[in-house]
Amino acid sequence: MKKWAYPLAVLTLIIFFVLRATFQSELIRTFDTKMADLFFGNRFIGFFHYLGEPTFVVSVAIILIVYLAWKVKNNRGILFVLLTVAGGNVLNQLLKKWVQRPRPEIEEQLTSYSFPSGHSMTGILYLFTVAYIFSENNSKERKTLLWLGAIVLTVLIGLSRVAGARHFASDVLAGWSMGYTWFIICVIWYERRKRLFKARNKS
């Protein structure tokens, strides 16, 4: 990871807690309303919520684990996927129960809590994990394409929740923020374990 990626995780953690403290403020309510007016009913963006559905995310995670287990024999990578995707989902559920923010008021709304958005948080986690794993030992051009694709899809998945009125925009922003922070925490663990493994092999 680039050096700037690590302090950015501190910034996103701060953004999460600022949103947690202010989501009932007039400023955030105005922001949520404007974003809802901008994206609500957009069918193109709304389609991308399927890429953040739990079944799809779990399927991608399983395929990635199988690849890491049989193709490249990377056991640390398997634990990394479990930490980012499974651990991130557990963290999301705990945060939702802690904050207990109701979802936007629409007919046939989901019954779970709204803050932070699960699609946004698990979306950034599984997409960034895929990009990170496949960026290892790859060319600079392919790394750029992988990360660009992950970022674009992450944004679209998050905005799809606003387009479908399943979340407020501040929920989505909070999901991206905490998702990125948790991802970097997992990257720090993964890279530390990799360095220790290399050091043992040299000694």
* pLDDT for position 71: 82
Q: Report CA-CA distances (Å) from 37 to 41, 131, 186.
A: 9, 32, 36
* pLDDT for position 18: 97
Can you give the pTM of this predicted structure? 0.91
pLDDT mean over 162-181:
96
Residue 6, pLDDT > 70, answer yes
Mean pLDDT of the chain: 92
The percentage of the chain sitting over the pLDDT mark of 70, rounded to a whole number, equals 97
pLDDT per position as a tens digit, 106-158: 877 878 899 999 999 999 999 999 999 998 877 888 899 999 999 999 999 99
* pLDDT for position 193: 81
pLDDT mean over 78-107:
93
pLDDT per position as a tens digit, 21-55: 999 999 999 999 999 999 998 999 999 999 999 99
